[in-house]
Chains A and B, each alone.
Chain A
Amino acid sequence: MSETQIDRSFSAFTKHLRQTEISLPADLIAQSLDELNGKSFPTTRIEAWKYTRLTKLSKLSPTFAVQHEGVNSASFAIHSTGNRVVLENGALHLNTTQFEAVNGLSIKRFSECSTEELQHIGSLLTLENEPFNALNTAFLQEGIFIQIDDNAQIDAPIELIHLLSKVECAATIRVFIHVGKFAKAALTMGTWSAGADKSILNAVSEIHVSEGAHFTLRKLQSEEEGNFQICTEEIEQKKDSVFTMHTVTLNGTLVRNNVRVRVNGTNCETNLYGAYLLKGNQHADNHTVIDHMMPHCLSNELYKGVIDEQATAVFNGKVFVRKDAQKINAFQSNGNVLMTDTASVNSKPELEIYADDVKCSHGSTTGQLDEEAVFYLQSRGISERSARNLLVEAFIGEVLDKNNNQDFTNKTNAILNARFGWER
């Protein structure tokens, strides 16, 4: 069958899905449906999807899972204590979800939110030409509303577990986070699967970081091969705030991360760190946008990847500096190591700058391990395999070490050990 004969439309993809029952603003739903109506999956002719083929995904017609599979979702937890929300196949898993009352923190479902609170949903999200955002709005299964009060400092971990456990099922989840003024908090998000195949996770997070607040998002992506995930994070920062994000991608057939940070305040700091270790037929695509709308801000972006076997990686980082957003320091760096001749990488670090008093730089490297370094280690009695692992660890460690949460590091190391045989 030729390409043109395959029905790649969203209507075919969504035929088994039902429209959202959450009372989101009506115009939002209408606009989303409008955006999907008659549209097909983006092809590689669309710039944003130039290096990511959605053919396999577009052939699916997933369903929403009605019941849970009895998987021990607690085993995927990164933190043993604190608040934990488990979403299995897009539905809240009440048995394993644990709420601990913490002052200044409230976590609730969208269905428990007031109309006034629901009005804020979708305010950061672009629907136009973003079919997966539209899909997430019109076919939303579950929404989690997290409110961190002004001046609150939340030390207990907050964890979201996205788990896929069915064959050809869809999970569409929205997370709305409001970090109050001068508050400080961190959220851990893990994406996992158990026995799932051809399933897709479509998760959108909207994060409002208010004046003077500090917020850290840690993401660990480790779905089994055969599954897809499209993760979108839309962040808005107000003045004097700090937003930090760690994305660690370790498994999954197709992982696409869309991160857009709107730095809409002066004196902000934005840190985006990403590590991807890929093998098999994995494809990981990191799209990031840092939009500097106001002056006197700093942004750091560091993404590093190791690509083994037939895996492919994509990095597309964009730094926008708007007119009048003077005194911006923006640094972006992407490094890749290709382990085999069948692995490939596509890197596109972009700068779009409309203000003159700025210091912006980006760098991108692609290469392999230094044979001389491998030889040196071997001459010291270290096996070639260990030598290579050591060098790869040193390379990727630069990003992994940016994370300062021990639980997160332990979990990452455990997976790295199981998957790549590394002892960190």
Chain B
Amino acid sequence: MGYTENELAKDLENQEYKFGFVTNIESDKAPKGLNEGIIRFISAKKEEPEWLLDFRLKAFALWKEMTEPEWAHVHYEKPDFQDITYYSAPKQTKKYESWDDVDPEMKETMAKLGISMEEQQRLTGVAVDFVMDSVSVATSFKSKLAELGIVFCSFSEAVKEHPELVRKYMGTVVPMTDNFYAALNSAVFTDGSFCYIPSGVRCPMELSTYFRINEGGTGQFERTLVVADQGAYVSYLEGCTAPQRDENQLHAAVVELIALDDAEIKYSTVQNWYPGDKEGKGGIYNFVTKRGLCERNAKISWTQVETGSAVTWKYPSCVLKGDNSIGEFYSVAVTNNYQQADTGTKMIHLGKNTKSTIISKGISAGKSQNSYRGLVQIHKNADNARNFSQCDSLLMTDECGAHTFPYIECKNSSAKIEHEATTSKIGEDQIFYCLQRGISEEKAISLIVNGYCKEVLNQLPMEFAVEAQKLLAISLEGSVG
């Protein structure tokens, strides 16, 4: 008999997390809990300058005054911030000189993730800054990038090597006062990536970083800062997979993008943190603040494929400050079982002739809840601002939910804003059409889902598109692919 939607739903439910495994690497941990001492410990461990410690302590003082936000359409057990280990680093202290020096077990982890470094170095030309539990262990293609004056390194390295750049730009797009989790991140962030493209340089390769939460009970507090100087271009990729864990882990990252005049940043991400098992037990809490600032004629494009995490709270945003700047947001969010996602974007139009495009595709399966929450704000001086938003939701079962909460605020009469959203299930007529053309039901569903996401997947760089499709398949497939 044909493959029915009910069977698909069942398959989806039974789909276990394919990347769930734990690497046993001894790590150097801070005691659990959060206080000034811990922050000083992290800062000292990372041999940080005084100003950064001050920054952390100031953020911590602010954080203590803040309350956890509750407006998102998600329900979860609040994390106990005193029960989290805020620092954990792989024990090997010496930095690797060559690839051969890298711990073989770690290499194996990477291989399981399908990002074998040898392969990548040789074949794809992607420079990978691999972060395992907060300390980056290997960076490749660095010399090649250095020739062009591009800085691409771990955040802590950047603090040591390029303090003037870090100090100038850190916290300018996402200030520590921004929100609860941004303040927490500012206080306790351990590592992350830093990227600087000098004026007029077009980065010749896609830059990518892989994050991975490994140690049980270790929150990851990453900080990414990408600066494209005047006229520069960079395409930055980030992907996440995490091993299977029963206790909830917290991930509160901050990503700041700065595109100066005429610069362009393309930021793509595939997120596949452990979503919890099919009873909704465990899984990662992903509370991320991502924001980009566009100066004159600059462009920032966010592309995301969200398949993981038990709870997602993420709004990659663009502040279109300069005239003629462009912001784009392309997103596919898949939720299954008991996953909850509240994701979307904010487009803040400040400059004249600014343009933004929002394409959001949500797919809900199992008993999950998937929400789009977006803000389009046109300020008084943003003459001729233009926005187009489209957010579609696809419902796979009768127990899941799909929600749309767009906020549209306009204070300029020359602005043009369009927003449209639809919610539906896969049309029976569409499946029927495929069936009568000799395409099996299973393939038909796969075809329709793929077609539905295509607008977004097309935006991903080649190197990533394959992985994105793999991850989509893992979360939604069963046998849909």
Contacts and interface: CB of A to CB of B under 8 A. Distances in A.
Interface of A is mostly: strand
Nearest to B392: A361
Interface in B345-373: none
A358 B423 contact: yes
Interface string A316-360: 000000011010000000001011110111111111111111111
B401 interface: yes
Interface in B391-428: 393, 395-425
Interface stretch (A93-101, A276-284, A363-371, A407-415): A363-371
Contacts of B419: 347, 349, 362-365
Contacts of A364: 406, 408, 417-420
Nearest to A344: B411
A362 B413 contact: no
Contact of B402 (A343, A351, A357): A351
A47 interface: yes
Contact of B415 (A323, A361, A366): A366
A124 B354 CA distance: 46
Nearest to B370: A353
B380 interface: yes
B339 to A, nearest CB: 15
Interface in A274-309: none
Interface residues of B, number: 36
A361 B421 contact: yes
Nearest to A321: B423
B342 to A, nearest CB: 12
Q: Which of B395, B410, B422 has the most CB of A within 10 A?
A: B410
B413 A324 contact: no
Contacts of A345: 408-410
B424 A358 contact: yes
A335 B89 CA distance: 54
Nearest to B404: A351
A47 B69 CA distance: 13
Interface string B185-225: 00000000000000000000000000000000000000000
B413 A338 contact: yes
B401 A352 contact: yes
A78 B273 CA distance: 62
B416 A366 contact: yes
B71 interface: yes
A51 B408 CA distance: 11
Nearest to B420: A363
Given A353-B395, A358-B424, A339 B404 contact: no
B413 A341 contact: yes
Contact of A347 (B71, B380, B401, B408): B408
Interface in A12-39: none
Given A347-B408, A362-B421, A356 B398 contact: yes
A217 B53 CA distance: 64
Contacts of A363: 418-421
A355 B413 contact: no
Q: Which of B405, B410, B423 has the most CB of A within 10 A?
A: B423
A360 B417 contact: no
Contacts of B411: 341, 344
B156 to A, nearest CB: 38
B306 to A, nearest CB: 19
Contact of B400 (A344, A352, A356, A357): A356
A350 B393 contact: no
Nearest to A332: B421
Given A47-B71, A363-B420, A366-B417, A350 B412 contact: no
Contact of B401 (A340, A343, A354): A354
Interface in B37-80: 71, 73
B410 A338 contact: yes
Nearest to B413: A338
Nearest to A338: B413
B424 A360 contact: yes
A336 B424 CA distance: 26
Interface string A362-386: 1111111000000000000000000
A356 B424 CA distance: 7
Contacts of B420: 361-364
B423 A341 contact: no
A361 B423 contact: yes
A350 B408 CA distance: 11
Contacts of B71: 47
B406 A349 contact: yes
Nearest to B422: A361
Contacts of A366: 378, 408, 410, 415-417
B425 A360 contact: no
Contacts of A368: 413-416
Contact of A348 (B380, B406, B412): B406
Given A352-B403, A362-B404, A364-B406, A323 B423 contact: no
Q: Which of A51, A338, A339 has the most CB of B within 10 A?
A: A338
B423 to A, nearest CB: 4
A350 B421 CA distance: 9
Nearest to B411: A344
Contact of A336 (B380, B393, B398, B410): B410
17 contacts: A326-B398, A340-B413, A341-B413, A346-B410, A348-B406, A351-B404, A351-B423, A352-B401, A352-B403, A353-B402, A354-B401, A359-B422, A361-B423, A363-B421, A364-B406, A364-B408, A365-B419
Interface of A: 47, 51, 323-324, 326, 336, 338-341, 343-368
Given A341-B411, A362-B420, A366-B408, 7 more contacts: A338-B410, A346-B408, A349-B421, A357-B398, A362-B404, A363-B418, A366-B378
